[in-house]
Amino acid sequence: MTSTVPVSSKLPDVGVSIFSVMTRLAIEHKAINLSQGFPDFNCDPALIEAVAKAMRDGHNQYAPMPGVLALREAIAAKVEQLYGPRYDPATEVVITSGATAGLYTTLTTFVQPGDEVVLFEPCYDSYVPVIRLSGGTPVFVSLRYPDYGVDWDEVRRKVTPRTRAILINTPHNPTGAIWTAEDMRRLAEIVDGTDIILIGDEVYEHIIFDGRRHESLLRYPELRSRAVVISSFGKTFHTTGWKVGYCVAPAPLVAEVTRVHQFITFTVHTPSQIAFAEFVKRDPGAKDLAPFYQQKRDLFLQLTAGSRLKPLPCAGTYFQLMDYSDISDECDKEIANRLIVEHGVASIPVSAFLYQDTGGPVLRFCFAKKEETLRAAAERLKSV
């Protein structure tokens, strides 16, 4: 049906996400889908039973707007145990409809027309549209191929009196890079004496490899006093479809986030919150998660060792970047499409996460898959 009503788009240059595009192509060509970032295996059956029990016990109505108190208490206890600071669960934790809603809420809370937000690209695809919807201007710092480290001199140059926020993502999607204690020290130097708010996307906080430590903003007093840290249970418990996340911040910041949150989703699925509260209390550090995914990373690297794809370092997340320069000089979108159509494996071109940098000859593969999925995908990739 056609419409006679003129429409002025708020996001005229934004189309269907690259994840939806590649998944549609994967389905169309019956390809193995290593593009979208979710497991092809189920979560703990005991977690499903805990949600079902909460429903049977009658927890089927609205939760309190900031979230079920038991879950906020579990999050506060987890943060204290892992990172040191004690947050008040009543005033300094809010439950959101996944980390994406937490990011949306936080950005729209603090970014106003004319403000600048410093981002590190390649960056997760939801950041820039939300900043623009809020009237802000994204300011990009390039994490350059092949190591994707932070150039702190560039950061210092990009910070201006109009900088309202700096958005940090560690462990980093899509590169798998992690920030170090030295990175946090350099960040603290730059924001000292400013009114800059720090927004931490730390959804992969428990998926970090080779004995490294997650350097959360919450570990550092000079950073956490100005930080909203966002995380999620989807990656930790293999439940990306449940969409339960949270924000942790000092009370004055959470009070403002909550003002906006109440008019977006108001509250989040009650039985899931009750179940997650039980599981977070039981294992705050998700101690088995990093070894679980490190085994999958190592297996994927072992299986693809005979291919012409060259792996880049992966210190965290469940994504592996591969350099395809020994295969082709095509742009990443072209070879990603050809991998699906001709070889039956779906990946994500890293240029989908870029706005000003040209990037490198790199594709992102998700290894949060069953062993048989990884083996089948690797056999196809070795034939390329």
Let me know: does 198 contact 164? Beta carbons within 8 Å: no
How much is the pLDDT for 51? 98
Span 322-330, mean pLDDT?
A: 97
- 315/178 Cα distance (integer angstroms): 6
Q: Residue 124: its pLDDT value, please? A: 93
Q: Per CATH, is 18-43+287-382 categorized as 3.90.1150.10?
A: yes
Annotate 25-38 with DSSP letters as a single string: HHHHTT-EE-SSSS
Delimiting residues of CATH 3.90.1150.10 domain(s) in the chain = 18-43+287-382
Three-class DSSP category at 200: strand
pTM of the predicted model as reported, rounded to 2 decimal places: 0.96
pLDDT band at 15 (very low <50, low <70, confident <90, very high): confident
In the chain, which residue ranges form alpha helices assigned H by DSSP? 18-28, 45-56, 69-83, 98-110, 127-133, 152-158, 181-191, 221-224, 251-261, 270-282, 289-303, 332-338, 371-382
CB atoms within 10 A of CB 107: 26
> Nearest to residue 308, comparing CAs of 371, 366, 361?
361
Percentage of residues of the chain with pLDDT beyond 70: 100
- Do 150 and 120 form a contact (C-beta atoms < 8 A)? yes
Per-residue pLDDT of 278-287, as tens digits, reads 999 999 999 9
Predicted local distance difference test score (pLDDT) of residue 36: 87
Residue identified by tokens 């560039």 is 154
Distance CA 139, CA 117 (A): 6
The 3 state secondary structure assigned to 315-337 is CECCEEEEECCCCCCCCHHHHHH
Q: Pairing between strand 163-169 and 348-349?
A: unpaired
> Mean pLDDT score of the chain, rounded to an integer?
96
DSSP, collapsed to helix, strand or coil, labels residue 119 as strand
C-alpha closest to that of 212 among 275, 146, 297: 297
Taking alpha carbons only, the member of 176, 185, 122 closest to residue 319 is 176
Question: How many Cα neighbours within 13 Å face the side chain of 108?
Answer: 17
pLDDT grade, residue 149 (50/70/90)? very high
Helix, strand and coil in the chain, % to nearest 5: 40, 15, 45
Give Cβ neighbours of residue 31 (< 8 Å, ≥ 6 apart): 25, 339, 340, 343, 344, 345, 346
321: left (phi over 0), alpha (psi -120 to 50) or beta: beta
7 pLDDT tier (thresholds 50, 70, 90)? confident
Is 9 or 118 the better-scoring residue by pLDDT?
118
Q: What is the DSSP letter of 343?
A: I
Alpha carbon distance 40, 63 (integer Å): 30
Specify the pLDDT at position 19: 83
Each residue's pLDDT tens digit, 96-123: 999 999 999 999 999 999 999 999 999 9
* 169 neighbors 201 (Cβ within 8 angstroms): yes
- Could you give the residue range(s) of every CATH 3.40.640.10 domain in the chain? 46-282
pLDDT surpasses 80 at 2: no
Architecture of domain 46-282: 3-Layer(aba) Sandwich (3.40)
The residue-averaged pLDDT of 16-36 equals 90
DSSP β-bridge partners for residue 197: 165
The pLDDT value recorded for residue 13 is 82
Altogether, the residues listed in the chain come to a count of 384
Position 44 pLDDT exceeds 80: yes
